[in-house]
């Protein structure tokens, strides 16, 4: 499955499968542990670049989930909005205009 997901992006990503957590490990994570692994904060020792890259190429799976995925986004809208705003606006856009 990893090869299928990553093939279209092979020139721009470099995922080390050995650095990915196992499904059992991820299942045992708290929400904070999951967020820490994915949030692009290189000062956080829990940050996992390989897992983050995998997430970016796995939206094909979300599309296959269809309405179930969209319903989950709606259900957790407040959290999604807060984190997207923090990531895109606070960390990426705002600093460009403060320089």
Q: How far apart are CA 39 and CA 20, in angstroms?
A: 15
Please provide the DSSP assignment of 44-62 as one string: STT--HHHHHHHHH-HHHH
For residues 48 and 19, the answer to whether their CB atoms sit within 8 Å is yes
Q: Could you say which DSSP state residue 14 is in?
A: -
Distance CA 7, CA 1 (A): 10
How confident is residue 87, by pLDDT bands cut at 50, 70 and 90? confident
Q: For residue 10, what are the CA distances in angstroms to 6, 54, 82?
A: 6, 12, 31
What are 55-85's pLDDT values in tens digits? Answer: 999 988 999 999 999 999 999 999 999 988 9
How far apart, in whole angstroms, are the C-alpha atoms of residue 53 and residue 93?
21
pLDDT for 46 beyond 90: yes
Domains of the chain: which residue ranges? 1-65, 66-99
């Amino acid at each position: 499955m990893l090869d299928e997901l990553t093939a279209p992006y092979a020139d721009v990503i470099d995922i080390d499968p050995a650095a990915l957590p196992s499904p059992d490990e991820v299942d045992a994570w708290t929400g904070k542990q999951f967020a820490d692994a994915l949030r692009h904060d290189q000062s956080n020792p829990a940050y996992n670049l390989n897992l983050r890259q995998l997430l970016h190429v796995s939206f094909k799976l979300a599309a296959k989930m269809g309405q179930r995925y969209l319903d989950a986004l709606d259900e957790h809208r407040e959290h999604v909005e807060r984190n997207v705003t923090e990531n895109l606006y606070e960390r990426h856009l705002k600093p460009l205009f403060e320089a």
